[in-house]
Amino acid sequence: MKMVKSLILGSAAGLIAMSGAQAADLPVKAKAVEYVRICSLYGAGFYYIPGTDTCIKFGGYLRVDLALNGTDYSPGLSGTIGAQNRLSNYFVSRSRSDFTIDTRTATEYGVVRTFADMVFSWTTPSYNGSAPGVGSEPAGASSQNTVGGATLGLYHAFIQFAGFTMGRTVSAFDAPWQSYPAGGPDTLPGGSNHVTGVNQFTYTAQFGNGVSGTLSAQDPTLQDQTNIYNTSYATAAGLIGGAYGTNSFGGTRAPDLIAALTVDQAWGLFKLSGVAHNNHVSYYGTTEPSGHPGDKWGFAVQAALSIKNIPTGPGDTLNIQAVYTDAATRYNFNSLMGTTYSLYGGSGIAYQSLGLASIADVTYSGTTAATGTSLESVTTWGFRGGFTHNWNPNWASAIYGAYASVRYGNNAKTAICSPLVATSIVNTNGLTGNCNPDFNLAVLGQRCLDPG
């Protein structure tokens, strides 16, 4: 019995050991895979980030441009291109890739949105040749001019919630189409254009039925400041290039303050915008003891109208706007336009005719506080518009135009024209005609069979 009992216990122990070994070999149940889910709350293209309640959408585009007799959608308004000579590139090409990231998160404060738009571009380098023996190298090589190099643009980078927008995006002052009422170049005057973004702190209140009001403070450092000319330092070389003196901008002391009212309904859109812009200068002379004029606040007012339901065809659109500025010229001649112009053309009495022009916010003169003047406004007005016709859902044509006028004050006209006419500047360069810094600029163009 003792032997039988030992055999039974030994068999039981063997069975237990065998069962344990078999249990250890069984596969462990895998954790459930969390697949990417479609987020339909904010429109097509959004997906939930796995493990979160945040929805994300990626986007972008590729674009290739070719511009003739200009520089990347800018007409030949100055330099060797404006001179129509043999010393510049007659065509410019650009390749561009755009990438956007859009996120939405529901919180107790409402939906929090973040958005970023990054643009990578390679553009034909600028070229300013010269006569033999003087040198004819491309001007100012930069990263985008190197083999394989490119420039990075950050058009948008902002956070939005509860009516607030904080960061970089288009200005609250702008019309929805920026300076493209029916496509066209970046360089249409007649209104503001912050398509590449501007840093701002903005609040928008929705009143219902498509009516909204906006208050905004934006950084004017790069996009919204033109020239502040001290005309006492005008030189022959500068005047021939369109510069009416030394640009004496002293830095920013206040943001641009904007208020806007928008009505956006089925028939179209109407927007009225106003901005206050501060002009802060450096000194009369080169040092602090020379003194300085006081700051001057300028302003701009803009109205924009879009009509969508017009009898020429479904989807056709008419966009028009008008602007008036006083010491805030960038809201008419936008930051993608130059500030000095020298235009050459044919002439029946000379080798070439020449028109010189420049834009500024304010001007003053003097080298000391005792002889110096206060800031004098430069006023401008302008308008632009465009009509787009859709031939079918895939193709559209458009025509657009713009006109702007610049007017200098009486003190500025005297300070600019007196030395230009009385000294050897005219005789040395063989110039004839009248001196008047006021000028007008008109643009007319069309788009033919663009993809809609």
Domain residues of the chain, as ranges?
58-72+89-131+141-161, 163-452
**CA–CA distances in Å: residue 152 to residues 115, 119, 352:** 17, 6, 40
437 closest CA partner among 359, 385, 349: 359
pLDDT, one tens digit per residue, over 354-376 is 778 899 999 999 999 999 999 99
pLDDT at 164 over 70: yes
**CA–CA distances in Å: residue 410 to residues 159, 239, 376, 418:** 46, 18, 9, 12
The per-residue pLDDT for 208 is: 95
The per-residue pLDDT for 275 is: 98
Q: How confident is the model at residue 421 (pLDDT cuts 50, 70, 90)?
A: low
Count CB-CB contacts under 10 A for residue 99: 13
In whole angstroms, give the CA distance from residue 51 to residue 49.
6
pLDDT at 345 over 50: yes
What value does the mean pLDDT take over residues 217-230? Answer: 93
The per-residue pLDDT for 398 is: 94
Q: Higher-confidence residue: 341 or 381? A: 381
The per-residue pLDDT for 352 is: 64
What value does the mean pLDDT take over residues 62-78? Answer: 70
- Amino acid letter for position 403: Y
What value does the mean pLDDT take over residues 175-182? Answer: 93
pLDDT at 23 over 50: no
For residue 3, how many C-alpha atoms fall within 13 Å in the half-sphere facing its CB? Answer: 0
Distance from the Cα of residue 257 to its chain's centroid = 18
Residue recorded with tokens 């039925």: 209
Element (DSSP H or E) covering residue 245: none
The per-residue pLDDT for 19 is: 47
The per-residue pLDDT for 142 is: 41
What value does the mean pLDDT take over residues 233-245? Answer: 79
Q: Vertex 405, ends 403 and 411: CA angle to 5°?
A: 170
CB 250, CB 281: distance < 8 Å: yes
Q: Higher-confidence residue: 123 or 189? A: 189
